[in-house]
């Protein structure tokens, strides 16, 4: 081949690659745009949250307890609930947990009890848009009263003026969305599942409810592994089943120490994103319920999810 025609061949091949990449980008952008703007409906009647009486201080305290020690709402909606970016970079975009107070920039000021239930338990904005990053699957199993207590507590926060800077979903997040590597909570929830009203206490029944908050990271089978949509720097979630690669050798007091002090029986530290500092404030009864829940899970090798 003459030198000139070889160069022309290389240029043509490069052009084809550039065009293919551009077409792939457009496809990902259009497909993810459709997913992000689609409007859907909860396939069952939405049970509104049950708000306590305004002077019910016990319910407010229950709401605070759940928010701070089990639900971690503040990680994404800010300490003062005025909103913050949980993720903000060029690849993933600006995933903004919006202002839930009644101040300037509030998205929940005109919410009805059914709107709260739709967002927190079903993963939908009032207009039917599927919420991204918001882990509604963690909250689905909780009672109308518990979620009502959480809402009342959030409503009792002083108004914060913080406008919404706009949610942007970056190219890598769009690619992960189209590839099914990250998904909307709405699509993971069995909306018709019966919500067995469990009374909080040191029981397996309550552990099954409280333990749904562990599943996003540790997997539906609790055997851990790579956290879907997680930061690449995070360690894989640990195996919490009674398998030898999990907690087979652990006693209940080993578990309580891990949750309260962030240390394994051999003394090594449990690393982020495991939010043990939040769990450290769980009551003895709630830790016992979680232990019964873990003991009840079928043993599985690490990473089987």
Q: Say if residues 30 and 36 touch (Cβ distance below 8 Å).
A: no
212 forms part of the interface with ligand HEC (CB under 6 A): no
Nearer of residues 10 and 269 to ligand HEC, judged by Cβ: 269
Number of Cβ within 10 Å of residue 254's Cβ equals 16
222 forms part of the interface with ligand HEC (CB under 6 A): no
Q: Say if residues 30 and 130 touch (Cβ distance below 8 Å).
A: no
| Contact pattern for ligand HEC over residues 245 through 284, marking x by CB under 6 A | ----------x--x-----x-----xx-xxx---x-----
Q: Say if residues 126 and 111 touch (Cβ distance below 8 Å).
A: yes
77 forms part of the interface with ligand HEC (CB under 6 A): yes
User: Quick one: DSSP state of residue 124?
Assistant: B
Q: Say if residues 138 and 122 touch (Cβ distance below 8 Å).
A: no
Residue 301: exposure state from Cβ atoms within 10 A (0-12, 13-18, ≥19): middle
123 forms part of the interface with ligand HEC (CB under 6 A): no
Binding part of the chain for ligand HEC, among 7-15, 120-128, 195-203, 295-303 by CB under 6 A, reads 120-128
Nearer of residues 17 and 216 to ligand HEC, judged by Cβ: 216
- Residue 210 C-beta-side C-alpha neighbours within 13 Å: 28
Binding part of the chain for ligand HEC, among 5-13, 41-49, 200-208, 232-240 by CB under 6 A, reads 232-240
Which pair of tokens denotes residue 214? 């562990």
78 forms part of the interface with ligand HEC (CB under 6 A): no
> Contacting ligand HEC (CB under 6 A), which of 32, 101, 106, 108?
108
Bond prior to 7 in cis (omega within 30° of 0) = no
Bond prior to 273 in cis (omega within 30° of 0) = yes
Residue the block writes with tokens 């720097």: 233
What is the nearest approach in angstroms of ligand HEC to the Cβ of residue 1? 54
Binding part of the chain for ligand HEC, among 18-26, 118-126, 173-181, 194-202 by CB under 6 A, reads 118-126
Task: Name the residues that contact ligand HEC, by CB under 6 A.
Answer: 71-73, 75-77, 86, 95-98, 100, 107-108, 119-120, 125-126, 131-135, 139, 150, 154, 167, 213-214, 216-218, 234-235, 237-238, 240, 255, 258, 264, 270-271, 273-275, 279, 290
């Amino acid at each position: 081949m003459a030198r000139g025609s070889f160069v022309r061949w290389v240029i043509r091949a490069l052009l084809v690659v550039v065009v293919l990449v551009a077409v792939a980008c457009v496809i990902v952008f259009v497909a993810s745009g459709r997913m992000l703007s689609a409007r859907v409906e909860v396939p069952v009647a939405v049970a509104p949250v049950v708000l306590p009486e305004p002077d019910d201080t016990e319910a407010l305290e229950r709401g605070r307890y759940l928010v701070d020690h089990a639900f971690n709402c503040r990680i994404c909606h800010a300490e003062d609930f005025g909103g913050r970016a949980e993720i903000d970079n060029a690849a993933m975009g600006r995933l903004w947990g919006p202002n839930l107070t009644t101040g300037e920039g509030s998205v929940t000021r005109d919410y009805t009890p059914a709107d709260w239930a739709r967002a927190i338990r079903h993963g939908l904005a009032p207009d039917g848009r599927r919420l991204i990053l918001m882990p509604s699957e963690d909250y689905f199993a909780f009672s109308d009263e518990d979620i009502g207590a959480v809402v009342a507590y959030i409503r009792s926060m002083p108004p914060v003026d913080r406008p919404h800077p706009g949610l942007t979903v970056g190219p890598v997040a769009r690619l992960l969305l189209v590839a099914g590597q990250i998904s909307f909570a709405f699509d993971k929830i069995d909306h018709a599942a019966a919500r067995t009203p469990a009374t909080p206490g040191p029981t397996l029944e309550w552990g099954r409810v409280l333990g749904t908050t562990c599943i996003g990271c540790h997997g539906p089978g609790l055997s851990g592994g790579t956290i879907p949509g997680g930061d690449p720097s995070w360690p894989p979630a640990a195996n919490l089943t009674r398998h030898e690669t999990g907690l087979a050798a652990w006693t209940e007091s080993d578990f309580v120490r891990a949750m309260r002090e962030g240390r394994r029986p051999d003394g090594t530290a449990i690393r982020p994103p495991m939010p043990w500092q939040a769990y450290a404030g769980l009551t003895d009864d709630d830790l016992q319920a979680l232990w019964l829940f873990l003991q009840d899970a079928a043993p599985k090798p690490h990473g089987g999810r």
